[in-house]
A and B are shown apart, each in its own frame.
Chain A
Amino acid sequence: MSPESRKTQKSAEIVAANIDLLIEILLRLPVKSLFRFKCVSTQWLNLISSPYFSKNHTRKNTNPSTSGLLIMVKYPSLMYLSLNNSRPSFGPVPVFDFLKIPSYFTNLTILGSCNGLLLCLLVAPPWNDIDVIYVVCNPTTKKSNTIPPLENLARKPIVNMDLAFDPLESPHYKVVCVRHCNPPDGPDFEIWIFSSETGSWKTCQGPFLSFPRGMLFRGGVYWNKGIHYLDSHDGRSFYFKIEDETLKSLSMPRMQSELITMKRSWYLGQSGGYLHLVDIQTNIIRDSSIDIYELLDDYSGWVIRYRVELSPMESLFPEMVQYIDAHPFLEGADRRFRIGRYYTYSVLSVVRKEGEDGFELVLSIPNKIICYNPRNGASKVLVYFGNDRDRVGYEWNSVIHYIETLSPV
């Protein structure tokens, strides 16, 4: 062995033997590489699997990007859409294997996700002691934790539960539960918070009274230390600030024009530290656009980040356009007889990654799932279902961001 290579070998040994240095290097690796490197040696396996390492890795990687989208389709399968730029892929993953949850549960619903952790509702068969349980799980490490049951559920039924987790703020997560209080179908609510730090529930100051009829605290998204609900009434919704246990009003953006809008829907989601609201207004008189808003940190308003005009996309994806014919018999006939047109699509997600160009709008259109970058106008087909699978459509409320994290549950 030459002196040079002996020297090199020595440095390798010393680095590998210096646990502190080795940890500094491993902490900077993505989760996926770490999972592979468990195979290097049993020492590496123990290092990477230790709770100390998981906690530190989560704290270091406070802004992990979304690796893919989980789409809930037909139980018990999930579809996984990888957003890996070089090779997007799409396929089913069995949910119980994926989350490593005992298969004696007969149903599972993913209620929400937050920075890599999922909140799931599991239903057990009737002969089981427990009917339903709520679990928080980490699909990357396949670890899960059962949330202790709430008492008095018959008198105070659960309206909704949302997960609050941000490794930048704390290694612990919280579950925010909105419950009815007397009478169970009235306009009054109580809010309970479970903390993984204490392992217990506590009730918040309240109750929160006299909400508009039909308010069900749906579409909760955690951002800026609060849960933001997408349940708007008269142009306003609500958000719950976890620290001060207050429920505040949240104004929604105005409509472009009430006269011409045929249908309006929202998308609400968090990505890359921003709360995005996508305003989808369908109209047949003029060309539609997709407006992407961001909420300002101080809640002073929504700012429009991008307005995506749909007409330029038409040449690339003509299947998005639907025509309204003057008469049903004229279907497929000359365009002159058509009285209007609109676009068919649904917004699956807004995915924000590091860097200037890291902004992607994932759309489900007939036969395809595509992503579109509103900054540079680039678009890409992620999934092509083929012509035989007509009008495959997914909705955003069945889509969950999959973010790799080692965070313990």
Chain B
Amino acid sequence: MVTTDEKGPLTAKKKSVIIRSCDGDEFLVSESAAVLSTSLKKILEEKEDRLIHLSDIDNKTLAMVIAYLSTHADDGLSDDLKRSFDQEFVSGKEFDVLKYLVLATDTLQVTCLCYTVAKKMADIMKNKLVEWVRREFDIQNDYTPEAEAEIRRLDAWAWDDRQLEDD
């Protein structure tokens, strides 16, 4: 049986990892925080390398995700505090920032953050105009004007009673 003493130096060495964003910034992250991301956990299990390079996450987004992971890895914080951190974390963030964040949670496989960000995005979207949604998601309208009018007619109730926003 391996005693904790024998394992000591090894765990100490394993304690942190360096994560590099696509624009070259490096972040020192505790391993307990990194493994909350399913993808990072897999990488760490597969190779010895303590430096992980993420080719599609920029430094701003990565810094946010790491702040989230570190908070959630902190055993000293209660679940209630973590929940209120989550609320704070997404509040006031712009839709553009959230798009990057949600993509990063997908790449890094951080499910709970993905749900929190998706909820926030939905909250922003819910009273928006269709045109706003198309613009924000860069979607081409592939309806003919007649087909679109028909859809609007069928679900007229959904359009009637709310002030819709375009910004």
- A36-B130 in contact given A11-B96, A15-B103 (Cβ < 8 Å): yes
B103 near A18: Cβ-Cβ < 8 Å? yes
Central interface residue in B118, B119, B125, by most chain A CB within 10 Å: B118
**Cα–Cα, bound, A40→B125 (Å):** 12
Chain A residues within an 8 Å CB radius of B148: 39
The distance in angstroms between the C-alpha atoms of A9 and B136, with both chains bound, is 8
Q: Does B26 contact A (CB under 8 A)?
A: no
In the bound complex, do residue B138 and residue A13 qualify as a contact, i.e. CB atoms below 8 Å apart?
A: yes
Q: How extensive is the interface on chain A, given as a class?
A: 35 or more
Question: Per-position contact with B for A7-40: 1 when CB-CB < 8 Å, else 0?
Answer: 0110111111010110011111111110111111
Shortest Cβ distance from A213 into chain B, in angstroms?
Answer: 45
Within 8 A of A (CB), among B128-162: 130, 133-134, 136-143, 148, 151-152, 155, 157-159, 161-162
Q: Does B87 make an interface contact (CB < 8 A)?
A: no
> A15-B99, A16-B139, A32-B158 are contacts. A25–B134 as well, Cβ < 8 Å?
no
Contacts of B141 in A (CB 8 A): 40-41
B63 to chain A, nearest CB (A): 16
CA–CA, A42 and B142, complex, Å: 7
Inter-chain contact B137/A36, CB cutoff 8 Å: no
Task: Confirm or deny: B115 has a beta carbon within 8 angstroms of a beta carbon on chain A.
Answer: yes
* A16-B137 contact in complex given A21-B118, A28-B118, A38-B151, C-beta closer than 8 Å: yes
Counting chain B CB atoms within 10 Å of each CB, the highest count among A13, A41, A44, A89 belongs to: A41
- Chain B residues positioned under 8 Å from A9 (CB to CB): 138
Which size class do B's interface residues fall under?
A: 35 or more
Q: Which residue of B lies closest to A29 (CB)?
A: B122
- Provided the pairs A12-B136, A39-B130 are in contact, do residues A25 and B118 lie with their beta carbons within 8 angstroms? yes
| Bound complex: CA A82 to CA B103 (Å) | 38
Complex Cα–Cα for A41 and B148 (A): 9
* Secondary structure call for the B interface: helix
B130 touches A37 (CB 8 A): yes
Q: Do A40 and B134 have beta carbons less than 8 Å apart?
A: yes
A39-B152 in contact given A21-B106, A28-B119 (Cβ < 8 Å): yes
Give chain B nearest CB distance to A8 CB in angstroms.
Answer: 5
Across the A-B interface, how many residue pairs have beta carbons closer than 8 Å?
A: 98
**Could you say which of A12, A26, A38, A44 contacts B99, with CB atoms under 8 Å apart?**
A12
CB-defined contacts of A28 to chain B, threshold 8 Å = 118-119, 121-123
Judged by a CB distance under 8 angstroms, whether A74 is at the interface is no
Q: How many angstroms between the C-alpha atoms of A16 and B95 in the bound complex?
A: 13
Task: Please tell me if the beta carbons of B118 and A24 are within 8 angstroms of each other in the complex.
Answer: yes
- CB-CB under 8 A from B115, the residues of chain A are 24
User: For residue A100, which residue of chain B has the nearest CB?
Assistant: B154
In angstroms, Cα B155 to Cα A232, docked, is 42
Give the interface centre of B130, B136, B141 by most chain A CB atoms within 10 Å. Answer: B130
Tell me whether A389 is interfacial, beta carbon within 8 Å. no
Are the CB atoms of B103 and A11 closer together than 8 Å? yes
CA distance A32 to B130 in the complex (A): 12
**For the complex, what is the distance from the CA of A30 to the CA of B122, rounded to whole Å?**
9
Q: Is B114 an interface residue (CB 8 A)?
A: yes
The answer to the question of A254 belonging to the interface, with a C-beta cut-off of 8 Å to chain B, is no
A263 at the interface (CB under 8 A from B): no
Contact across chains for A40 and B139 when beta carbons are under 8 A apart: yes
- Residues of chain A from 179 to 207 with CB closer than 8 A to chain B in the complex: none
B11 at the interface (CB under 8 A from A): no
Query: A25 touching B125 by the CB < 8 A rule?
Result: yes
B106, B119, B133: the one contacting A37 at CB < 8 Å is B133
CA distance A28 to B119 in the complex (A): 6
- Is A84 engaged at the interface, CB distance under 8 Å to the other chain? yes
Q: In this assembly, does B42 line the interface, its C-beta being within 8 Å of a C-beta of chain A?
A: no
Scoring A8, A18, A20, A89 by chain B CB atoms within 10 A of each residue's CB, the highest score goes to: A8
Query: If A21-B118, A25-B122, A29-B122 touch, does A11 touch B155 (CB 8 Å cutoff)?
Result: no
B137 touches A15 (CB 8 A): yes
- Residue of B102, B119, B136, B152 near A21 (CB, 8 A) is B102
Given the interface pairs A12-B136, A16-B137, the reply to whether A35 lies near B158 with Cβ below 8 Å is yes
> Whole-angstrom distance between the alpha carbons of A9 and B102 in the complex?
15
Contact of A12 with B137 in the complex, beta carbons under 8 Å: yes
B residues near A (Cβ < 8 Å) are: 96, 99-100, 102-103, 106, 114-115, 118-119, 121-123, 125-127, 130, 133-134, 136-143, 148, 151-152, 155, 157-159, 161-162
List 7 extra interface pairs beyond A38-B155, A40-B137, CB under 8 A.
A16-B137, A16-B139, A29-B122, A29-B126, A33-B125, A40-B141, A87-B161
Subset of 19 A-B contacts with CB under 8 Å: A11-B96, A11-B103, A16-B137, A16-B139, A21-B106, A21-B114, A24-B114, A25-B125, A28-B118, A33-B125, A33-B158, A35-B155, A36-B155, A37-B130, A39-B130, A39-B143, A40-B137, A41-B140, A41-B142
User: What 5 A-B pairs are tightest by C-beta distance, nearest first?
Assistant: A35-B158, A28-B122, A12-B138, A16-B137, A24-B118
